[in-house]
Structure 1
Amino acid sequence: MQSPDVPPPSLYAAREPIFPRRVKGTFRSLKWALMGLMLAIYYVTPWLRWDRGPSLPDQAVLVDLAHRRFFFFMIEIWPYEFYFVAGLLIMAGLGLFLFTSAAGRVWCGYACPQTVWTDLYILVERWIEGDRNARLRLHRQAWDLEKARKRLLKWAVWLLIGLATGGAWVFYFTDAPTLAANLIQGTAHPVAYTTMAILTATTFVFGGFAREQICIYACPWPRIQAAMVDEDTLTIGYRDWRGEPRGKASVEGHGDCIDCMACVNVCPMGIDIRDGQQMACITCGLCIDACNDVMAKIDKPLNLISYMALTDEVRERAGAAPKSIWSHVFRPRTMLYAVLWAGIGVALVAALFLRASIDVNVTPLRNPLFVTLSDGAIRNTYELRLRNKHGEDRWFTFAATSDAAFGLALEGAAGLKVLVPANETKTQRLFVTAAAGSSAAQAARTDLRFWVQDLGTQANPSNDRVHYDSVFNGRGDIEGKAE
């Protein structure tokens, strides 16, 4: 029996910091290239310019929350066109399914923001503190002037990266040069400073300290990916039938693995891939580079660790050649994801180019359904919402077609023309009147089609025309109920 004076053993294991060793190779070079490309896109994109005319912003990519619009180069998305954004999100999800089913967690290993910024932070750490062994020694040594200097310098650079990350994010929501000047002068909106502070802090903590813990504990994808992979999915694996038993290469009977721990020392997740596939593995391929480097030095065949599928393992254990990469990539599951992904993309592109330049919405006012005028005529009121998607003010004119005769009048306007400001939505009331005793006045409902034509400007005349179908409410409903 345990003594009451002895505290029970802790069930919590403290985190062991991971200090990945530098490695060179194909996959490390690929990660550097993708990291540079994605960081460049993220930081540079808000500063790209795109000429849209005098009354529109000239920022190429802009989420204009103030005017409720999204600009992407030549494309302009309005709030009611949110289905474009929804379609892109669905495509992103299907793309993630596609890549995971084909090659495991390649998104996590190469393109996930957590991976990209963690790689950047580790690069800074290596520049300042040295490679793995030097960082281990610094971690274990007591605090002194050298340790304090290196840590403070590292943290300062990390904070600058986090600040640049938060700053780049807010630049996507307003004009970047203007906001940059306002931020420096201290006149920017408090929301901008708050957003930058939050993103700076999260980037600093997630990339500098949490690192692999975000992937293991916070991210749900490691648990979801099991539903996306099968026995033909390419993942990183260790050929134990070739590498075991481990030991010195000079000893007869030992496998190719010399137990040098190179694959473990370069892993940013701190796992040993020789123990089998694990949830924490992000399939970044650094262990492949490290192992191939060692195999080349001891004159052994490469790819003791490599991308492989479970079906390849069975074939190789039996002495057969593995399947080709393309047979793993192109199979029913991946083809289904690819077809769905491409289909949604084609539909979005078609919807983008087929959308009308004029958008009108007609809403009949229901309270009351109609008004009886002094001469016995019946009048319905409709609320029109006109969207002018052009970068200049436009005149719009109205007409209506039906089997019955109607009179039209715009509230507060002479004639049937109204001016809609550039890139704005205008609400306008339209009165439609049926003469007393007419078929439309006596019927319960009469089909009615409204026509809206864009007259353009003197310099740029237009004949664009759209229609909207509605109904005219007459006295028929009331008379039928009275009977």
Structure 2
Amino acid sequence: MAPVSMATLDISFKPERAHLRRPKRGVIAERVVPQAVRGRYRRLKWAALILCLTIYYILPFVRWERGPGQPGQAVLFDMERGRLYAFFIEIWPQEVYYLTGLLVLATLVLIWINAVAGRIWCGYFCPQTVWTDLFLLVERAIEGDRRERLKKRDAPLTVRRILEIGLKHAAWILVSMATGGAFVLYFADAPTLVGDMVTGRASAIAYAWVVILTGTTYVLAGFAREQVCTWMCPWPRLQGAIWDPEALTVNYRDYRGEPRGSAKKAAELRAKGEPAGDCVDCLQCVNVCPIGIDIREGPNFACINCGLCVDACDGVMAKLDRPRGLIDYEAWANIERERSGQPARRRVVRTKTVALGLAIVALAAAMGVGLALRGDAKIAVIHDRNPVAVRLSDGRTRNGYTVRLYNKADNERSFRLAVSGLTDAAIEVVGHDAAVSVASDATRELRVLVSSAEGERRSIAFVATDLASGRAVTAQDMFIPSEGGR
């Protein structure tokens, strides 16, 4: 593959191309007005939209039985109790590393998807894409398709036009309110919160977040659209580092389409034995693009791989009785191979994709095993900072610790504290006997003093044993001897 191919990747596209006109000097380009299109990839996008919106709006109302005193919502970010519930999984604040692992896993999956099919996530499942498609559906239903909307944009206002604009924005606001309202349902019991919000009994914070999310959805999906995908989202900026010429991305077969010309002109050139491309320069691929780029100019980081230009071009080729695929999901490396007369090679399975896939499986497996093997009790220890150690009158050294016991079970439990690693250790739980009770689904903080005649720094283990079951949990810390005493 010629190195110039990667060097010419561009993101500095001109959105005004989608309007077939350039703005006057000093005037900001008008936002993209994409045209509706039909085809296999448009149907896939509708299916993705329906799936994503169904999950988003229905999931808060799915029930999951966890036992007495536990929330019955399948997915819940319980801010009051500091818990994250996801069906059979319960994450405590002290287990935030699972969320960190989930973020790392999501990043690896996105990079793997990019290596296989470019920005396919952006084109089908990204929330910005889903809600932009929904807003465009409303806009087309009220104002008409691209040509009608462009005519109305420059036409003088009439009563009917004002009603159309008002109806469109009212529908957008309703969708935005439903979006913001559904989001807050993930942070409280959904049926209860819906009733409280309707009757005005919900908290001011709940209403504030609905307003904030309504505003952001309305602005981003109604007005920012392609600007979010191109300039606000960091993903296009990463394409320079992770772009893969073997990934199945939307590309234009320029060796087949050039030189461009009308169907009549192409027929005349071919009759004369002169070269003529299949592209008739109809600009349908540009008109349907939600980002407003011209894929015929070469690979572009702003392309979200939605495939709408493929549908538009295939429709034109079908009408002209020419083979489909002038614009298609194809690896850029294959475009160059075909241009030079070499056969195309699909290399979805290669070192990069296999390595990323194995990393995803390994991380997911590690997190799954960790969740499966974790217990319903935990102990955490923090050594005192000042003083680190105290010399007692009998010559022994005493260290102080803050010990926190976690009881994740549904019943109250009693634990007996002990310390190992010191031959003559004496442990004192301030204000308690060695046995300490911890309420169900709660934590308890204890002040613990450990004394010993040891004169060397030693690693010790705090052991909390459940008196009912005999199971024990441990936490490591240090015992530090006094240096001169106090």
Judge same fold: TM > 0.5, yes or no: yes
Task: Indicate whether 1:83 and 2:69 are aligned.
Answer: no
| Deviation (angstroms), 1:259 | 2.5
Q: Identify which of 345, 350, 353 aligns with 1:323.
A: 345
Aligned to 2:466: 454
Aligned positions of 1:371-390 closer than 5 A? 372=392, 380-390=399-409
2 CA distance for matches of 1:449 and 1:308?
Answer: 59
CA deviations over 1:162-185 (Å, ceiling 9, x no partner): 111111111112222222222222
Query: Who wins on radius of gyration, i.e. which is larger?
Result: 1
2 CA distance for matches of 1:232 and 1:473?
Answer: 58
Structure with greater contact order relative to length (CA < 8 Å, sep ≥ 6): 2
Aligned positions of 1:134-149 closer than 5 A? 134-149=148-163
Aligned positions of 1:331-342 closer than 5 A? 331-342=350-361
Aligned to 1:395: 414
Aligned to 1:270: 292
Task: Indicate whether 1:417 and 2:424 are aligned.
Answer: no
Task: Indicate whether 1:464 and 2:476 are aligned.
Answer: no
Q: Is the 8 A contact 2:291 2:303 kept in 1?
A: yes
Q: Is the 8 A contact 1:358 1:464 kept in 2?
A: no
Q: Identify which of 376, 399, 403 aligns with 1:357.
A: 376
Aligned to 1:478: 484
2 CA distance for matches of 1:353 and 1:421?
Answer: 23
Task: Indicate whether 1:15 and 2:22 are aligned.
Answer: no
Aligned to 1:252: 268
Aligned to 1:208: 222
CA deviations over 1:209-256 (Å, ceiling 9, x no partner): 121122222223222212111332322122222222333324322422
Aligned to 1:299: 321
Aligned to 1:131: 145
Q: Is the 8 A contact 1:371 1:380 kept in 2?
A: no
Q: Is the 8 A contact 1:249 1:255 kept in 2?
A: no
Q: State the aligned residue count.
A: 455
Mark the CA change 1:259 to 1:428 in structure 2 (over 3 Å): closer, same or farther.
same
Aligned to 1:4: none
Mark the CA change 1:470 to 1:278 in structure 2 (over 3 Å): closer, same or farther.
closer
Q: SS where residue 463 of structure 1 aligns? A: coil
Mark the CA change 1:377 to 1:132 in structure 2 (over 3 Å): closer, same or farther.
closer
CA RMSD of aligned residues (A): 2.5
Mark the CA change 1:466 to 1:135 in structure 2 (over 3 Å): closer, same or farther.
same
Q: Which runs of 5+ in 2 are unaligned?
A: 1-22, 270-275
Q: Is the 8 A contact 2:380 2:404 kept in 1?
A: yes
| Deviation (angstroms), 1:306 | 0.5
2 CA distance for matches of 1:115 and 1:197?
Answer: 21
Aligned to 2:127: 113
Q: SS where residue 463 of structure 2 aligns? A: strand
| Deviation (angstroms), 1:277 | 2.4
Q: Which moved more, 1:241-250 or 1:30-39?
A: 241-250
Q: Is the 8 A contact 1:25 1:289 kept in 2?
A: yes
Q: Identify which of 206, 222, 241 aligns with 1:192.
A: 206
Q: Which runs of 5+ in 1 are unaligned?
A: 1-8, 434-439, 457-461
2 CA distance for matches of 1:444 and 1:432?
Answer: 14
Mark the CA change 1:396 to 1:300 in structure 2 (over 3 Å): closer, same or farther.
same
1 CA distance for matches of 2:459 and 2:312?
Answer: 75
Mark the CA change 1:362 to 1:14 in structure 2 (over 3 Å): closer, same or farther.
closer
2 CA distance for matches of 1:446 and 1:13?
Answer: 72
1 CA distance for matches of 2:50 and 2:260?
Answer: 38
Q: SS where residue 484 of structure 2 aligns? A: helix
TM-score with structure 1 setting the length: 0.87
CA deviations over 1:364-393 (Å, ceiling 9, x no partner): 4454524636x8876554332101111222
TM-score with structure 2 setting the length: 0.86
Aligned to 1:224: 238
Task: Indicate whether 1:158 and 2:164 are aligned.
Answer: no
Q: Identify which of 300, 304, 307 aligns with 1:285.
A: 307
Code of the residue aligned with 2:319 in structure 1: it is K
Q: Is the 8 A contact 1:361 1:468 kept in 2?
A: yes
2 CA distance for matches of 1:446 and 1:405?
Answer: 13
Q: SS where residue 172 of structure 1 aligns? A: helix
| Deviation (angstroms), 1:35 | 1.1
Q: Is the 8 A contact 2:379 2:404 kept in 1?
A: yes
Q: SS where residue 263 of structure 2 aligns? A: coil
CA deviations over 1:358-417 (Å, ceiling 9, x no partner): 2112334454524636x887655433210111122222222344563444443333x422
Q: Is the 8 A contact 2:84 2:92 kept in 1?
A: yes
